[in-house]
Chains A and B, each alone.
Chain A
Amino acid sequence: MHAPSSVTSLVDVLTSLRERVMGTSESVLSTADGLLVAADADSVQPEAIAALAAATLGIGARMAQQAEAGALRDVVIRCGGGQIVVLAVGDRALLSVLGDEGLDIAALQREAPAIVKELSALLAGDVSA
C-alpha cells in the first residue's frame, strides 16, 4: 500500500533544509532530465534551476569520468555573492541548494545522506504509482 508522493511533504523537506543547513536560501528538486518536481524558492525561477541542474550534474559527471576520479558526489558553484550545490537524489532526481557566500557546505555534506533518504522515500511513491 502506498500513498502518492505529496508535493507538500517534499516542500516540507526542502523547507527544512533552511533550518538544517546554515546559509541555505532556496532549494529545488528536479528530475534528471531537467523538469521541476518541487521547490522552496523565493527569488529564483525554479524551472530554470531545474533545467540547469541536470546540465550541471551531467557535465560534472563527465568531468569526473575524464579525470578518472570515481563517482561524482556533488558540484559546488562558488560565486562572489553566493554558492549553489547540486547533488543527485537517487538515480532519477537532483537537488539544487542555493545559498549565500556563508553557506555551510560542511553541514550540507553531513546532512545530505539524511535529506537524500527522506526525499527518495517520498519520491518512491511515484515509482509504484
Chain B
Amino acid sequence: MSAIEASLSELLKTPGLTGAALVDGVTGLTYGAVGDAPEAGDGAETAELTALITDQVGRAAADNELESVIVTSARRYLVVQTVRRTGDPLLLVAALDRSRTNLALATRQLTAHAEGLAA
C-alpha cells in the first residue's frame, strides 16, 4: 500500500467518516482516496471551489491563507482541510455522515492529520 493510502486509511477510524481523499489544491489532482471515494467529491471541483473561496474571501483573514471549508447538507458534511506545506497546498477532503459523526471532534482529527502530513 502506498504511503498516501496508508495515511488516509487512518482517517477511516474517525466515527462517521465515509470517504476521504488527498487532493492537490492547485491542480485538482486526486493523489489518493479511501472509503467511499465519490462521497469525497470530485477533486478538481473541490480544488476549484476552494480556490474561488480563497480568492474571494481570503483577504479577510490575517495572513490570507484559507484553513478549511465545511459544506453542510441534509445528511452529510464535506470538510476540506488545507494541508499547509512548503509546496503547493494539499487538500484533505473528508465526507462525514451527520447522523454518526461529531463534527467538532472530526475536524480536530482532520486538522491534526493535516498537520502531521505537513511535518
Q: Report A-B touching, CB under 8 Å.
A: no
B positions within 8 Å CB-CB of A:
none
